[in-house]
Structure formats: C-alpha cells, structure tokens
Copies of this chain bind each other. A is one copy, B any other.
Amino acid sequence: MANISDGAIYAPKGKPNPVVKKGEFVFSALGLYHGHIYGICNGLIEAGGILKNYYDPNPVYMASFTKQFPGVKPADSEEEILGDKEIILVAGATKTSERCALGLRVMAAGKDYFTDKAPLTTLEQLEAARAAVRTTGKKYAVYYSERIHVESAVFAGELIEQGAIGRVLQVIGFGPHRLAAPNRPDWFFIKKDYGGILCDIGSHNMEQILYYTGAQDGKVVSSQIANYNHSQYPELDDFGDCQILLDNNATGYFRVDWFTPDGLQMWGDGRLFILGTEGFIEQRKYMNLGIKDAGGGHVFLANGKEETYYHVEGKVGYPFFGQLILDCLNRTENAMTQEHAFKAAELSLIAQRDAVVLEPKQ
C-alpha cells in the first residue's frame, strides 16, 4: 500500500501479531482526510483490533477508504460511530486544525481517540485536549508514524534501552518530504488548517527527540521557517528547523522540508542520528541513499565494541499498536504516555509560533 512517491500515503504493513482475542477491541475510523489513516488502521488491525466501520462527510475520502478496506462497512454518520457502545477507540485523520475538535467529541462520547499527527494546531486546542483527558479519563493518542511505524526507529529505541550507546546526549533528525503538490488537498497549503511545517511534520522529529533522549520536557532554543522556493503557495513553509534543549540537558536539532527531488527513489530520505556517551546510531529509515531497491530499515551502530549495520526491515515490527490496544483495555500507558504525546505537540507549536521567518532572497 505504501507508495514510494508520496509520504502522504505511507502506510506500512507489518506481520499480524494480535494482542487480544477477536472482538475484544473494536474501533472505527472517522475523519479520513489524510492517507495516514490507512497506516493507523493497518497497525491496529495487525495487533488484533477489529475495524467495525468508517465515516467521513466527504464522499471522495469515503471512496478511497472503501478501496483500501473493501470488507469493512461504511457508517452513515459520525453520530452512528460515536453512539456505538461496542467501539472502544476512534481513529482519525481529519484536517489538522479539526483534529482536536473531533477528539473532544470522541472523548466526550466515552471513547479513546487515536489521531494522525500533528494532533492539533494551536496551544488553545492543546489546553482543551488536556482538560478533556482529565475530565473524561479517555486517551488522545497520536500517530507519530516516523517513530512508531518505522522499524529502524523501533530498533534504535531497543538498542538505546540495552545501553548500546550509553547516555543519549543529542538527537538530530532530517524529515525531508516530497511535495507532490497536485496530490495534496487545498487545506494542505492553508496555514491555519495544517498549522505550519514545524507543527506538522516537525512534530514527528520533536517526538523522536523527546523519546530518544528520555526527556520529559524541553525548551525551544531557536526555530526558523521559510518559503524559499514555492511562491505559488504563499502559506506553505517549505523549510523549517529547530534546536531544542531538553530538561536533562541533552539537545536536539531537526530540519524538515518539502524539497525531496523527483530523482530520489523515495518520498524522503528520512534520517535520525543519535549521539551517546558510548557510541552513536544512525537510522536511514526508508531507503539507503545511492543504493536502489535496498528497502528501508537501515540502522548503523558504532560503540566501543563494534561498528555494525543492521537491516531490520520486516524483522522488528510495530509494537506500539498492540501496546496501545492493551493500554486502552487496561488503562495503562505503555505505548506512549499522554503527557509525552502532548509535550511533543506543545513544543512543536511553540517552535512554530516563535519561528524566525527567513526571506527567500538569494
């Protein structure tokens, strides 16, 4: 299902690895604007979830979804889904600026919510989401796919957990994406709808920096955005970067951009570099630059003992989805804490809000 030309419909398929018996975890898809909804549903289904139905007011998105999941019955309305007691979780990938409002309705209906990233576009929405989590006790989980749905990212986390590089000092992430403008909906180019590049694709990297450094919080040291070369889309940020200082004095830096050229084999050469006191890790997430058909999942480790290349594609899987299902059933936080999911969004929003806007002059 993954299309190499377009990260927007990056939807990895892993091996089925159910954590529950059939029917124990029933979910629905509501808000189908972004192709990430397919990745979300794949992940939950592989982990044993039952996708009961799906709905979006836009018939185009409904038709696309039907093609991807032909065996699943469409719902007739949002109300049908929200009123269905059997449905434990609602997965959504509506327009970014509407993700919070949808989440509030879902949680108010007594269901957990699992949204595409970015989970929201303003700090006011974040406050409302945090409040709703407190009052409803429900989850507002986020699909930070560049970590939870990428095998190199999962494996790197395992290496760090095992102490392979000592204490993590710094994380640097590159999140380049192909624009593929004709395939993008209009809202993608309207800043109040998508939130800006640091809010949007920046949130992937912010989440990874928090995760790999093990930090609880951080401070945006500096951030920049630009529309360097797409004056036809005046509200597009085609470039953004951010430097962050974590509460444990580790640091992070990331760059995100829409400059992946057409000659590249993949929609983006996503990389992540993790520096530790005893070694370092590089991830080449989706491709190995300069080598055709090498697939994704390339992890390089160097430490005091070794310099090792791991090709983990198809070997690691995506434990997040099973953990999330169990978290919903057991009211635990093993997949990702609520505060971590919100903190990544919060820091991304602050980076976006405070960003210096670079002019495109030569």
Contacts and interface: CB of A to CB of B under 8 A. Distances in A.
Interface of A: 167, 169-170, 172, 174, 176, 221-222, 224, 226, 228-229, 239, 241, 243, 245, 248-249, 251, 253, 255, 257, 259-265, 269, 273, 275-280, 282, 289-292, 300, 302-309, 356, 358-362
Contacts of A222: 221-222, 243
A305 B228 contact: no
A146 B308 CA distance: 25
14 contacts: A172-B172, A172-B174, A174-B273, A176-B275, A176-B280, A224-B245, A241-B243, A249-B362, A251-B358, A261-B304, A263-B279, A265-B307, A289-B300, A289-B302
B289 A362 contact: no
A251 B261 contact: no
Given A174-B273, A362-B248, A302 B264 contact: yes
Given A245-B358, A249-B361, A291-B309, 19 more contacts: A167-B362, A169-B229, A226-B249, A228-B277, A241-B253, A245-B356, A248-B361, A253-B255, A255-B275, A260-B302, A263-B279, A263-B302, A263-B304, A264-B307, A282-B289, A289-B300, A289-B307, A290-B307, A290-B309
A273 to B, nearest CB: 7
A163 to B, nearest CB: 13
A359 B249 contact: yes
- Total identical chains: 2
B278 A261 contact: yes
Nearest to A291: B309
Contacts of A362: 167, 248-249
Contacts of A262: 304
A1 B292 CA distance: 35
Nearest to A259: B275
B224 A251 contact: yes
A359 B247 CA distance: 11
A255 B359 contact: no
Given A251-B358, A261-B304, A239 B279 contact: no
A229 B277 contact: yes
A257 B170 CA distance: 11
A279 B261 contact: yes
Contacts of A358: 245, 249, 251
Contacts of A221: 222, 224, 356
A292 B278 CA distance: 20
Shortest 9 CB-CB contacts between residues of A and residues of B: A290-B309, A261-B279, A264-B302, A222-B222, A290-B300, A263-B306, A229-B277, A289-B300, A261-B303
